[in-house]
């Protein structure tokens, strides 16, 4: 995807981005009304935001708890020597891991997973135990939901 590091959204772009962040399925007519422009003009703005790489996707927000995943955890993962690529593949192949970042520091992976029970958590982590050391923190709640950076 093309990205333009020098792209600076104006006030209208920022409002469009904010509105679409809240409701990605907002019709162009409603988006246009909210920013005080015509629907074709707003559609052109959205297209430009997509082409410049600012908007990458229109997605849904799924509540894992509603699907029965009562436990969410953050796991720091430190592969044993020579196991980095194997551990990365194991993380990618395990569907309970819903996010994973490569980070600096002693533990190169910081992953988020969802499970239905503590026993399931143990089973998922056991799958890594021959190849990595893990440190797990169960998420009790969110102080900030995923949000946009300052525009």
> What phi and psi, each to the nearest 5 degrees, are found at residue 15?
-65, -40
**Topology of domain 11-51, per CATH?**
Arc Repressor Mutant, subunit A (1.10.10)
- The tens place of each residue's pLDDT in the chain, 151 residues long, gives 455 567 888 999 999 999 999 999 999 999 999 999 999 999 999 999 999 999 999 888 899 999 999 999 999 999 999 999 999 999 999 999 999 999 999 999 999 999 999 999 999 999 999 999 999 999 999 999 889 999 8
Rounded (10°) CA dihedral 125, 128, 132, 134: -10
Instruction: Please state, in angstroms and rounded to a whole number, the distance separating the CA atoms of residues 64 and 72.
Output: 9
Instruction: Please state, in angstroms and rounded to a whole number, the distance separating the CA atoms of residues 147 and 22.
Output: 9
Instruction: Please state, in angstroms and rounded to a whole number, the distance separating the CA atoms of residues 60 and 111.
Output: 20
Task: Collect all residues with Cβ–Cβ distance below 8 Å to 77 and sequence separation of at least 6.
Answer: 87, 91, 107, 108, 109, 110, 111, 128, 132, 133, 134
Give pLDDT, residue 97. Answer: 98
Dig out the tokens for 12 from the structure: 């209208």
Q: Look up the CATH architecture of domain 64-138.
A: 2-Layer Sandwich (3.30)
Q: Where are the domains of the chain?
A: 11-51, 64-138
The pTM of this model reads: 0.83
Give pLDDT, residue 5. Answer: 63
């Amino acid at each position: 995807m093309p990205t333009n590091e020098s792209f600076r959204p104006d006030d209208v772009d920022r409002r469009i981005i904010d509105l679409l962040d809240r409701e990605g399925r907002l019709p162009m007519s409603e988006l246009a009304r909210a920013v005080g422009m015509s629907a074709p003009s707003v559609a052109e703005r959205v297209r430009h935001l997509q082409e410049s790489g600012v908007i990458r996707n229109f997605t849904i927000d799924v509540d894992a708890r509603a699907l029965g995943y009562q436990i969410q955890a953050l796991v720091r993962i430190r592969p044993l020597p020579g196991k980095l690529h194997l551990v990365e593949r194991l993380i990618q192949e395990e569907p309970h891991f819903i996010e994973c970042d490569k980070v600096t520091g002693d533990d190169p992976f910081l992953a988020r997973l969802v499970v239905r029970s503590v026993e399931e958590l143990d089973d998922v982590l056991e799958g890594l135990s021959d190849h990595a050391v893990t440190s797990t923190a169960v998420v009790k709640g969110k102080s900030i939901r995923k949000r946009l950076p300052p525009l």
